[in-house]
């Protein structure tokens, strides 16, 4: 398997790093209210791991890098729209 950077791979990796650092910095604030903030952070890190797994499956099943990147971009846009919806409402 040739190592290649895709949109979903890069986004998932950066998401895992960002949310891990965010949870370390704001641990006391997230741990209030029975720890629901910590659970939310772990969910977001889990979504990053799921993104890496989806990217791996796409790279193994599809040969076209363009198709893989388009599918990854669509998944990243859905994630961002979902995140904006949660923050807004």
**Exposed/middle/buried for 29, CB within 10 Å: 0-12, 13-18, 19+?**
exposed
pLDDT of residue 35: 67
Query: Which pair of tokens denotes residue 22?
Result: 């965010």
Q: What is the pLDDT of residues 10-61, one digit of tens each?
A: 999 999 999 899 888 888 877 777 767 777 778 888 989 999 999 999 999 9
- Each domain of the chain, given as residue ranges in start order, spans 7-88
């Amino acid at each position: 398997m040739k190592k290649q950077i895709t949109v979903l791979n890069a986004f998932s990796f950066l998401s895992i790093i960002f949310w891990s650092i965010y949870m370390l910095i704001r641990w006391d604030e997230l741990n209030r209210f029975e720890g629901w903030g910590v659970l939310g952070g772990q969910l977001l890190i889990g979504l990053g791991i799921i993104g890496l797994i989806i990217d791996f499956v796409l790279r193994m099943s599809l040969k076209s890098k363009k198709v893989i990147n388009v599918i990854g971009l669509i998944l990243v846009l859905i994630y961002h729209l979902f995140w904006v919806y949660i923050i807004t409402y």
